[in-house]
Structure 1
Amino acid sequence: MGDPRVRRTQAALQSTLIDLVQDRELSRISVADVAERAGVSRSTFYDHYRDVHELAEAACTAMIDDLIEAIPDPGTCDGAHAAADSLLAFFAHLDEHAGLYRGVLGPQGSARVVDHVRRRATVAAYVGARRAATGHEAPTDYTAPVPHDVPAAFTAGALIGVATDWLQHGCPSSPAEMAALTRPLLIALYREDGRGQA
């Protein structure tokens, strides 16, 4: 499980970065800024992360891991409501932390974070389709390997593409509007694929 002091320090540094990125671009935040605001020394910072970019990656992947069950599962029997709710939660989360996600998902961002989001979203879509096909409500193991699955990979890529475009344009539509625009596209994919009716 790890040392609780290490987890607390890492959580404090991640939380501090999330606060700082609300006021300025990620590229303009230094290690000294984070360390000072978090009340730790620079050497303590470097005990945990190489630089601000690695800290941003850790903060994003931790939040994505908490959020990932909200990735739409249109193949469930109550797929219309589940997809609407999960998409709203997804876009609301991105909107709340737009500065951070814009920094790591944008053109100068982190390939590691993009790949993490893509893999987690692919697993969520794959497991959702399997649940719809079998009716089995097994818990999701997001670390398990997933076979090549075109609709699941397409779903994950589409969500990342839409989210990144929205963030890069300054979130011009509300999370509710984004959910409403995205949901029919995902439902259509699942209907075309024959994985379930929403």
Structure 2
Amino acid sequence: MRRALIDLVQDRDLPRISVADVAERAGVSRSTFYDHYRDVHELAEAACTAMIDDLVEAIPNPGTKDTPDTTTETLLTFFAHLAEHARLYRGVLGPQGSARVIDHVRRRATVAGYVGARRATTGDDAPSPVDYTARIPHDVPAAFTAGALIGVATDWLEHGCPCSPAEMAALTRPLLVALYRRDGRPTA
């Protein structure tokens, strides 16, 4: 069903996709659909989780001790991933998309930013899996970074990706870096 929804979103806006459409494309009954999901938006969140995790992993953490080149490369990876799956992300993150999926991305990006900044301030450079379900304290820089990147990404997608991923990385990097001091803490 997840693959069926991803295929359907390539051709039409998410709000125009019904449970019947997904069930037919997946070759299952509507009751089978409802055995697993409440609605198409819940399925969209589940279907996009792996891709969202890949996307979130590509979000740079300006609070880390990365070099400027590493931050630019990470942003390039982020925007290249968006460009590669532009129709899907435009469908689920755009104005006709799913508020649940947008919130899902925002929450995961905020957690990733929080964890990355904490690692940077403690000097822990060891990569470890991020627990995206963890409850984190209110962290304005992490939430700001997540919201800003999602805002820039959705605007870029809605406008048909007028700049290349490299250009987007170059435009976005100074904005993110300006938020943080060298020690990983937010600027005053």
Q: Could you say which structure has the higher helix fraction?
A: 1
Structure 2 counterpart of 1:168: 158
Shift of 1:155: 0.7
Residue 153 in 1 paired to residue 143 in 2? yes
**Aligned-CA RMSD value:** 2.3
State the alpha-carbon separation in 2 of the partners of residues 173 and 117 from structure 1.
22
Q: 1:22 to 1:91 in 2, by over 3 A?
A: same
State the alpha-carbon separation in 2 of the partners of residues 130 and 28 from structure 1.
41
State the alpha-carbon separation in 2 of the partners of residues 116 and 122 from structure 1.
10
Residue 76 in 1 paired to residue 64 in 2? yes
Structure 1 counterpart of 2:35: 47
Number of aligned residue pairs: give it: 183
CA contact (8 A) 2:61 2:116 kept: yes
Question: Residue 182 of structure 1: SS of its match in structure 2?
Answer: helix
Shift of 1:169: 1.6
Opposite residue 154 of structure 1, the aligned amino acid is F
Question: Residue 58 of structure 1: SS of its match in structure 2?
Answer: helix
Unaligned runs of 5+ in 2: none
State the alpha-carbon separation in 2 of the partners of residues 182 and 17 from structure 1.
31
Q: 1:26 to 1:144 in 2, by over 3 A?
A: closer
Residue 133 in 1 paired to residue 129 in 2? no
Question: Residue 131 of structure 2: SS of its match in structure 1?
Answer: coil
Structure 1 counterpart of 2:81: 93
* TM-score in terms of structure 1 length: 0.79
CA contact (8 A) 1:56 1:100 kept: no
Fraction of identical pairs, as percent: 80
Opposite residue 60 of structure 1, the aligned amino acid is C
- Counterparts of 1:181-192 in structure 2, within 5 Å, are 181-191=171-181
Structure 2 counterpart of 1:3: none
State the alpha-carbon separation in 1 of the partners of residues 3 and 23 from structure 2.
12
